[in-house]
Amino acid sequence: MPSRSLHKHYHRSGFTLVELLIAVALFSILVSIAAGGFVRALRSERQVSAMMSAESNVSIALEEMTREIRTGYLFCHDPGSASPSAACASCSVVAGGQTQTWTCPNIEFYNANGEKVDYVLQNGLLERSDSAENGGALAVLTSNNVSVTDLGFTLFGDLEGDHWNPRITIVVGAEPNDKTVSWSTANLETTVSARNIDCTPAGSC
């Protein structure tokens, strides 16, 4: 009988160059999409965290202001005067008479200890001065990572003899101090009423 030789044939299938190029292209696209989403998520997380930090910082400063205003008197005017004091000369009267309303970019008043206090906005920072502290020098209330973009006060019933408790509305606009990202300004507003009718300590109303 003739001898038979057994031949084993191995059939190996592979990828063509075109298939490899298509696979690499699809993989690159999927990685780009995933990486872009991850970067956007990180950016959003950073924005939310920074905005929450800014709002928290300004809220603390606002709370400090309202506590001091609540027990204050002689808001933006000198004793016996119906006109804004020198420190509040930039106030504008929006309603006349005994119940006139003023809008002011800063506020000056006397606190419960009889010390003259000013709250002002300078170079993106909310600052406070106290006649009894550091010779009246301004002290910063907000941190450097917050930019205060707006500060305003609306005063009602703050004149002696008008028989109204002074009511002050405070508006503060702030945003994180990061110039590499575009922010929308967070606006905080609160209204506080002074506990007493506006008089000098020895005056009568």
Chain position carrying tokens 């007493």:
196
Span 126-153, pLDDT tens digits: 999 998 877 788 899 998 888 999 999 9
User: Which residue stretches of 71-193 are H helix?
Assistant: none
> Strands 138-140 and 125-130: what pairing?
antiparallel
Q: Note if the pTM is more than 0.85.
A: no
The amino acid at 13? S
Q: What whole-number distance in Å separates Cα of residue 199 and Cα of residue 195?
A: 11
Span 155-181, pLDDT tens digits: 988 777 777 888 999 999 988 887 777
- Residue ranges of domains in the chain: 32-193
Tokens of 23: 């696979």
Query: What's the longest Cα–Cα distance across the chain?
Result: 138
pLDDT interval class at 9 (50, 70, 90): low
Answer for the pair 157, 166: CB distance below 8 angstroms, yes or no: yes
